[in-house]
């Protein structure tokens, strides 16, 4: 992969770019563990879907970027084992140098590999899979194909959750969502597009999720108390978009 990696800073926020103005990741320098970008916060809504104190015991993250999701889980979920797959070694080097990527091989395994190949070639399973992989032109490639989503499902434990960052503006996200639904027997939904144009899709395996939004809001309050992350606006947008008939999030 032959693209420049740029690091910029403005108003106390450091950003990662792949040779364009497109932001690939961001960190507020004074609060390096905080999720700075809207879509990264929305991906963490996956944590609300299983009301289990041990969830997630292990997580696979495909795409490192500025390590925002990695650092959040590392800091606030100390019993979770993390595997991060990143295709470009220079991105890992930049995350270590500029974005405070932790160095802890016991809890955090960084793998330089193609995410779609990695997941296809190993049998290890996970409670949570987070997919946020794009090239310099904002193309996800094989990470947005049906075989990849089917492989994600095969690599989830029973009662596992998948969260995918889809880009909503360029060609629309509906075809991507349909592929995820096909792989997960229709057990998927997309959040309304956030301001950046990103759309977060969630899918689940195992026991059916039928959670009243009011109950999720209570869990969101507990998550906010634990981590400072406020998902209440996300749940309100979900409610307003009528994605949850009868006020029930069902996957």
Q: Residue ranges of the domains in the chain?
A: 6-245
Mean pLDDT of 101-117: 96
Where do we find the tokens 């090239």? 135
**176: closest CA among 186, 167, 185?**
167
Mean pLDDT of 120-139: 83
Cβ 84 vs Cβ 69: under 8 Å: no
Mean pLDDT of 30-57: 94
**47: closest CA among 36, 56, 35, 57?**
56
132 is catalytic: yes
> Pairing between strand 126-131 and 58-62?
parallel
pLDDT for the residue 141: 67
Q: Is 203 exposed, middle or buried (0-12, 13-18, 19+ CB in 10 A)?
A: buried
The interaxial angle of helices 213-227 and 232-240, nearest 10 deg, is 160
| Strand locations in 102-176 (E) | 108-112, 126-131, 156-167
- What are the φ and ψ backbone dihedral angles of 181, each rounded to 5 degrees? -60, -40
At 66-81, the pLDDT tens digits run 999 999 999 999 999 9
The interaxial angle of helices 146-154 and 174-183, nearest 10 deg, is 40
Mean pLDDT of 89-108: 97
Given the residues 132, 137, 158, 185, select the one marked as catalytic.
132
Please check the confidence at residue 171 and state whether its pLDDT lies above 70.
Answer: no
Mean pLDDT of 87-95: 96
State whether CATH 3.40.50.150 applies to domain 6-245. yes
Distance, in Å, from the CA atom of 166 to the CA atom of 90, rounded to the nearest integer, reads 23
| Strand locations in 124-187 (E) | 126-131, 156-167
Please check the confidence at residue 105 and state whether its pLDDT lies above 80.
Answer: yes
At 7-30, the pLDDT tens digits run 999 999 999 999 888 889 999 999
Structure tokens at 235: 């749940």
Question: Do you find a cis peptide bond into 56, omega within 30 degrees of 0?
Answer: yes
Mean pLDDT of 45-53: 92
Please check the confidence at residue 138 and state whether its pLDDT lies above 60.
Answer: no
Structure tokens at 102: 């932790």
Q: Is the pTM of this model over 0.75?
A: yes
At 184-214, the pLDDT tens digits run 999 999 988 776 678 899 999 999 999 999 9
């Amino acid at each position: 992969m032959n693209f420049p990696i740029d690091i910029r800073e403005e108003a106390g926020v450091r950003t990662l770019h792949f040779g364009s103005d497109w932001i690939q990741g961001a960190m507020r320098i004074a609060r390096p563990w905080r999720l700075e970008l809207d879509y990264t916060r929305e991906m963490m809504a996956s944590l609300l879907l299983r009301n289990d104190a041990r969830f997630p015991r292990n997580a696979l993250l495909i795409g490192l970027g500025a390590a925002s999701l990695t650092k959040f889980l590392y800091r606030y979920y100390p019993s979770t084992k993390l595997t991060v797959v990143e295709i470009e070694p220079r991105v890992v080097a930049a995350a270590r140098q500029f974005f405070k990527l932790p160095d802890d091989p016991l809890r955090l395994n960084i793998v330089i590999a193609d995410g779609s190949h990695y997941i296809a070639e190993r049998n290890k399973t996970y409670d949570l899979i987070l997919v946020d992989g794009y090239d310099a032109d904002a193309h996800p490639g094989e990470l947005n194909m049906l075989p990849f989503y089917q492989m994600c499902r095969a690599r989830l434990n029973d009662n596992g959750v998948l969260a995918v960052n889809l880009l909503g503006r360029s060609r629309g996200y509906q075809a991507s969502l349909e592929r995820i639904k096909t792989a997960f027997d229709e057990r998927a939904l997309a959040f309304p597009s956030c301001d950046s144009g990103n759309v977060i899709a969630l899918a689940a395996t195992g026991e059916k999720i039928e959670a009243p939004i009011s109950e999720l809001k209570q869990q969101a309050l507990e998550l906010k108390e634990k981590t400072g992350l406020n998902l209440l606006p996300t749940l309100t947008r979900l409610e307003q978009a009528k994605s949850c008939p009868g006020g029930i999030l069902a996957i």
